[in-house]
Copies of this chain bind each other. A is one copy, B any other.
Amino acid sequence: MADCPPDLALESDDLDHLLGYQLRRLSVAVMADLTSVLAPIDLRPVEAAMLFLIGASSGITQSDLGRRLAIQRPNMAPLVGQLDRRGLIERARIDGRSHGLLLSADGEALRRKAWEIVLDHEDRMFSGLSVPQRRKLGQQVLMLRKTLEHMERPT
């Protein structure tokens, strides 16, 4: 790694020192927990994220929502359709081709429940860190992600 002797690069192949790998394993574990704590209110993490964003940006377009969540249009259709069928959101016509998404009363109620659950979940997940440590970690991760996502593919 960064701190190992440069000429001995080939012996230190311990996955524990590969930050990218550890990051992935951690995120998988966190997602698994989130999935299970959201299951009781019958929401998957994606759906919860959608409720959060729609709640924060009422009237957001389906495509914009997809862009924010890095979900492609074709994959959005069934997701939005599902929330709609459950009566959690409503679609308000904007123009001939798009409509804005709004939370219904039920949707808003569920959004709040989900938000509580997620906050509690986060608290458990990162209880190994102090609050300042969490904030710093969050900043670093956000910064790294934005840098990376901006470097690569122009969607």
- Contact yes or no, B112 A150, CB < 8 A: no
- Contact yes or no, A9 B150, CB < 8 A: yes
- Contact yes or no, A24 B31, CB < 8 A: yes
Which residues of the other chain, B, contact A39 by a CB distance below 8 angstroms?
none
- Contact yes or no, A144 B119, CB < 8 A: no
Which residues of the other chain, B, contact A115 by a CB distance below 8 angstroms?
9-10, 13
- Contact yes or no, A128 B116, CB < 8 A: no
Q: Interface range on chain A: under 10, 10 to 19, 20 to 34, or 35 or more?
A: 35 or more
- Known contacts A15-B53, A20-B122: A68-B8 contact under CB 8 Å: yes
Q: Chain A 3-33, CB within 8 Å of chain B: the 1/0 string? A: 1100011100111111111111111111111
Interface residues of A in 101-130 (CB under 8 A from B): 111-112, 115-116, 118-119, 121-123, 125-126, 128-129
CA A122 to CA B2, docked complex, whole Å: 9
- Contact yes or no, A52 B20, CB < 8 A: no
Residue of B at shortest CB range from A153? B1
Q: Which of A26, A112, A151 has the largest count of B CB atoms less than 10 A from its CB?
A: A26
A interface residue numbers (CB < 8 A to B): 1-4, 8-10, 13-34, 49, 52-53, 55-57, 64, 67-68, 70, 111-112, 115-116, 118-119, 121-123, 125-126, 128-129, 131, 133-135, 137-138, 140-145, 147-155
